[in-house]
A = this chain, B = another copy of it.
C-alpha cells in the first residue's frame, strides 16, 4: 500500500508528519513509513505522541521495525518497547541484532523482561512463539458483575477482552472460557462459571505448530486460543489477528516452496543478494543434479536417436507433458492434505483416481500430438519419413504413458514426503518435473522400440 499523498509530502518534515500521523490509523502510518530510512522513521516515532508511536510499533506490518528501534537511544527505545504488547515485543526481539538486544533488555521494566525471556524460549512457528501473556483472567468465584467491572478498569491495556479466562488462583489451571458477548448478555449476579458453553475449552500446548493454531481458530471461529502447559496451567493466548498474519506468512512459505526454493522469511525486497542465492541455489543445484540422470538416460538411447533422429525432436514435448501433469496433481494433493480432505491412509484412493485421470489426459494430449505429426506431414511442412504414421503412433502412446505416470507420481509425492516426516508442501513443481523427466525419456524410447522395431529402428 502506498503512502497517502498528504503523508508522502510531509515526510521531509518530521514534526509536520507526526502531527498528521497522530490523526491516522496506525496501520496507514506504518505503511507510509515504509519509504523512509529507519533513522528517519525513528525520529518521526520519537516526535509522535507516545501512545500513537506505540500503536505504530505494535503493528507487525511496520517494515524493518528492528532497525527503527535500533536507531533510537536506549531510553526512548526502552520506554516505547515496554509499552508494546508482549507478543510484538517478542517478535521484535527475534529480529534485533545481538548488540541491540543486550543494550535494550536490561533497560526494560522487570515484568517486560520476564515475559520476554519466557516468550523467546519458543520458536516463532510455534503457538508459544506467537502468543501473548496479556490475557484477561478471573477466578472461578467471580460474578459476571465483578468481571465486567474489572474489564472496565483494566480492559484498555489488554490484548483482547473478548475472551475472558477463568483460572484457578491456586495453580493457574484454566477452568473455563467466557466471551465478552456472553458476559454482556448474562444476568450480572451469576458466577462466570455458570455462563458460556459447558465442556472443556479448546486449548493448545506451547509447542503446537502455528498452522494447527490457525486451523483451530478457523474451525471453532475463536477470537483467541489459550495456550496451556502439560499441567493445564494457562501460559498465554494467541489472538485471531496474529493468526491472520500467520496464515499470510504460511501461504508465502508454501508458494515459495512450491516454486522450488527455500522460504525467504522476509519480504522479497528486503532479502540481500547473498541470502537470496542461498535460498535458491540449494534446491536449484539439487534439482540439477537429479536432472543429470536425463543425460545418462539419453546416453543409453543414443543408438536409437542416431538411427531415428526424428525421435529427438519430441523429447522436450514428452518430458514437459509429464512435468506439467505431475505439477497439477501435486498442487491438488498438497492442498487436499493441508485441508485434511485426504489423509495419509487415503493414498491408494488417490492413486486409483489419478491413474484413470492421467490416462484420459494422456489420451487427449496423445491425440493432439499424433495429429500434429500427421497434419505437418500432409501439409508438407515437415517430412517425418515414410513411417510417419508409426512415428505419430509412438508419440501418442508415449504421451499416454508419460502423462499417466506424471499424474500418479505427482499425486503420490506429497504422501511420500508426509510419510517420511517432511512437509508435503516441499513437493514443488520443479521437484516433480525432475522425478518425471528421466522416466519420461525411458517410457518414450521403450514405446519407440516396441512400435518402430523393424521399420525405423
Contacts and interface: CB of A to CB of B under 8 A. Distances in A.
Contacts of A284: 321, 324-325, 328, 361, 364-365, 403
A235 B334 CA distance: 38
B259 A184 contact: no
B281 A364 contact: yes
A258 interface: yes
Determine chain A's interface SS by DSSP, over half rule.
helix
Interface in A161-209: 161-162, 180-181, 184-185, 197-199, 202
Contact of A437 (B162, B295, B320, B332): B320
Contact of A299 (B161, B221, B313, B403): B313
A455 interface: no
A21 interface: no
Contact of A152 (B185, B283, B365, B428): B185
B23 A285 contact: no
B258 A241 contact: no
A321 B258 contact: no
Nearest to A185: B155
Contacts of A285: 364-365, 368
A307 B260 CA distance: 36
B313 A315 contact: no
Contact of A247 (B247, B336, B403, B441): B247
Contact of A433 (B243, B298, B323): B323
Nearest to A161: B181
Given A218-B244, A256-B332, 5 more contacts: A152-B184, A284-B321, A291-B320, A291-B321, A316-B437
8 contacts: A180-B180, A180-B184, A264-B332, A276-B357, A288-B321, A295-B317, A298-B314, A316-B319
Shortest Cβ-Cβ A-B pairs, 6 listed? A259-B331, A429-B429, A294-B316, A268-B336, A324-B430, A221-B241
